Amino acid sequence: MRDIIKLENAPRISSYYSVVGSHERNGPLGDRFDEFSLDDKFEKDSWEKSESEMQRLAVVGALKKGDLKDTDIDLLLAGDLLNQCVGSNYGLVDFDIPYVGLYGACSTCALGLALGALLYNSGSCKRLVSVTSSHFCASERQFRFPLEYGGQRTPTSQWTVTGSGAFVLGNEGKVSIKEIVFGKSVDMGINDINNMGAAMAPACIDTIKRYFSNSDYSVEDFDLIATGDLGYEGSKILRDLLLSEGIDIRKSHDDCGLMIYDRKRQDKHAGGSGCGCSASVLAGDIMKRLEAGELKRVLFIGTGALMSPLTLYQGGSIPAVAHLVHLEG
């Protein structure tokens, strides 16, 4: 299993729900998300509480859509970017469901789906929920500067998505998880906190190469190879470097960080990022296109930058990881 794990008893994504903030609502996928808050506050008095509330709303929404209650779910898998993962810890405390916390930075959505799919596949769990979130305002003050400071952003910086996506894995639904690849941690020496795309691209390349070197499928078999979230910088590096190794994903590649904002109309520099980016794009857009038959086979690859501000102040570079999930409609 070191590379691809094939799921014989493949779980289906039975239900899913997306919750976003104002910038995401105003973006190209705006009307595809299930719920939004135009002041990004979700009626809470701190950005951290707003993020927790998004996760809670996403799980409530996914359960409701699937006509499920807490006791129908065997396990909650959750994670976010906040210190000690408090977005998830506080957002999910009211659910009467066993709780597993994950940390994979922006790869956490794919990580939760992959682990959840394995646990379903083994028969240990009949139904699980995987949920992740991020909030621009909470992330800015934690990772960079408080909003009030009005700091200039570099052209390579990505905009943390205010959003959350929840997925119920079970035996119903049109989309199944066929294969997974857990990523290895890769550090190529990038130490620019404002260029996460460059830091994450090598881990993504490693995972994609491990997949296609060992798979029965080729790039052409996939309607969409969706990374999340490399943005403009990382996506270009990914495509170019893979091409130089003979893997041409240019026709089918898109990145959740590029899909969620309009580059011309919205000033988001290198695109979106955050645990909520790939989660909300998958729940808001990709899942719906898979269910409609518009997409048949999708590789969904979550990419995460595994540093903290402190490790960069101490001169460290940025290790990254990329987990892969093969979805079929």
Between 119 and 258, CB nearer to its own copies:
119
When asked if residue 129 is in the footprint of its own copies (CB under 8 A), the reply is: no
Contact between 58 and 18 (Cβ < 8 Å): yes
- Of 178-186, 244-252, 253-261, 270-278, the segment contacting its own copies by CB under 8 A is 178-186
When asked if residue 214 is in the footprint of its own copies (CB under 8 A), the reply is: no
Between 185 and 213, CB nearer to its own copies:
185
Q: Interface mask (CB under 8 A) for its own copies, residues 5-34, using x and -?
A: x-----------------------------
Both tokens of 247, joined, read 């893997």
Tokens 């909470």 label which residue? 138
Q: Contacting its own copies (CB under 8 A), which of 125, 237, 287, 290?
A: 125
Between 257 and 319, CB nearer to its own copies:
319
When asked if residue 217 is in the footprint of its own copies (CB under 8 A), the reply is: no
Number of residues that bind its own copies (CB under 8 A): 58
* Residue 67 burial (C-beta neighbours within 10 Å; 0-12, 13-18, 19+): exposed
SS3 assignment, position 65: helix
Q: Interface mask (CB under 8 A) for its own copies, residues 89-118, using x and -?
A: xx-xx-xxxxxxxxxxx-----x---x--x
When asked if residue 321 is in the footprint of its own copies (CB under 8 A), the reply is: yes
SS3 assignment, position 73: coil
Q: Give the angle 11-295-24 at the CA atoms, nearest 5°.
A: 90
Q: Contacting its own copies (CB under 8 A), which of 31, 123, 152, 216?
A: 123
When asked if residue 85 is in the footprint of its own copies (CB under 8 A), the reply is: yes
* Residue 51 burial (C-beta neighbours within 10 Å; 0-12, 13-18, 19+): buried
What is the amino acid identity at position 207? T
When asked if residue 194 is in the footprint of its own copies (CB under 8 A), the reply is: no
Contact between 196 and 305 (Cβ < 8 Å): yes
Q: How far is the CB of 211 from its own copies (least distance, A)?
A: 12
Both tokens of 317, joined, read 């570079």
* Residue 96 burial (C-beta neighbours within 10 Å; 0-12, 13-18, 19+): exposed
Between 125 and 290, CB nearer to its own copies:
125
Q: Per DSSP, what are the bridge partners of residue 169?
A: 13, 128
When asked if residue 190 is in the footprint of its own copies (CB under 8 A), the reply is: no
Length of the chain equals 329
3-state secondary structure 281-305: HHHHHHHHHHHCCCCCEEEEEEEEE
Give the binding site for its own copies (CB under 8 A).
Answer: 1-2, 5, 46, 48-49, 71, 74-75, 79, 81-86, 89-90, 92-93, 95-105, 111, 115, 118-119, 121-126, 181-187, 306-311, 314, 316, 319, 321
